[in-house]
Copies of this chain bind each other. A is one copy, B any other.
């Protein structure tokens, strides 16, 4: 016999005293949203005869993908991004509604591409809109951390599912502090980006191709397996992943350029514990993209924020975004910054949580509470709680301290609506004002109402 109890502790205590195995869960009433009838929608989706099989196929598809690192190249080449085209994180947005850090990153990107000489001249360019366009990274097979701005000259990792040839992409990580993705666009930021285009990108391309051709491409999904045994949750702790990237590319990098440049590249990568984030993100997207378009599936395939809106996409609802206002994270601040300085949640990096790591795997990375706040028991409890809204466990990504339980995989819109438990994201915080950069890191959830909105659409589409 197995009993699940909620609310009435007395009942659980009495059962426990009688040696009945009892699982205590944190139940809340279903979430609601204006204009939707969650209970009716839940019933309709629950009765969709396609649902169980569709979710099984979605889970199998996600868990079946192995991401290999096959190339590195400029976005102009690997994404066909053209002059004046700008990608950004999150669901679609225009300049007018763009937040400070997204504006700052776009301004820096415009200067990097030579569209303006001075980043301060860029707002007029974007406000006019004639010669430039904004588009979500997710619409072009890419993901971008924080502002997520991609311009044609930026070099990108290329990850591939070798079985299908599907690919995903992400820029190279700049480091922390005053960097473009946090909305900074000063001369140092642009100088670093130019070095990344002139030296870092080409050397990494040479090394990635050399490894690929000699030994087969690096298995990035497999690196994530190891990271989760090494205190990384792969969103805000990527230290072990970064070091394993150095290990796997180092011997080939030595042959990729002159000693001075190779040494600089090793130092740059080794000095940036977040370098691997930009490999973790497209790995997660590559897996989740495998579940896109499975009719009847209630699995979330993307969570992304543009600094103004938080959006999700769901396997059974095609390319539609369900959006609501991005929240401000609760966490720890750098220096003298405080909550008033923080921009609302921004970035495609919540793709890690969508795939079951990041905030979902904090149990395996308890040291992260020193960065994002909270306590070690919180971190353990968070992973356990996320299992309540997940469809499956990932047998390749396990958490040793939870007795090697697989990470919670496949956020189920119906479970979120039924339990009121929202996905837990851990995140960096950008300054609200363009140009500031990072101000802290913390914990945040999506706006609750986007899940009933997605549920309502699933209910409309449900088979009868």
Contact = CB atoms under 8 A, between A and B. Distances in A.
Interface of A: 226, 229-232, 239-240, 243-244, 246-248, 250-252, 254-255, 259, 262-264, 266-267, 270, 366-367, 369, 375-377, 380, 400-404
A267 B251 contact: yes
Contact of A263 (B226, B252, B400): B252
Contacts of A263: 251-252, 254-255
A367 B229 contact: yes
A366 B239 contact: no
Nearest to A366: B400
A278 to B, nearest CB: 18
B366 A401 contact: yes
B255 A259 contact: yes
B251 A270 contact: yes
So how many copies of this chain end up in the complex?
2
Tell me the dominant secondary structure on chain A's binding face. Answer: helix
List 6 A-B pairs, minimum CB-CB distance, nearest first.
Answer: A243-B243, A247-B270, A366-B400, A367-B400, A229-B367, A251-B263
Given A251-B267, A367-B400, A239 B246 contact: no
A266 B264 CA distance: 16
A449 B459 CA distance: 72
Contact of A404 (B239, B376, B402): B376
Given A246-B246, A250-B267, A259-B259, 10 more contacts: A230-B230, A230-B240, A231-B231, A243-B246, A246-B247, A251-B264, A252-B263, A254-B259, A376-B400, A376-B402
Contacts of A248: 270
19 contacts: A230-B231, A230-B240, A231-B400, A239-B240, A240-B240, A243-B244, A243-B247, A246-B246, A246-B247, A247-B266, A250-B250, A250-B267, A254-B266, A259-B259, A366-B400, A369-B400, A376-B401, A377-B403, A380-B401
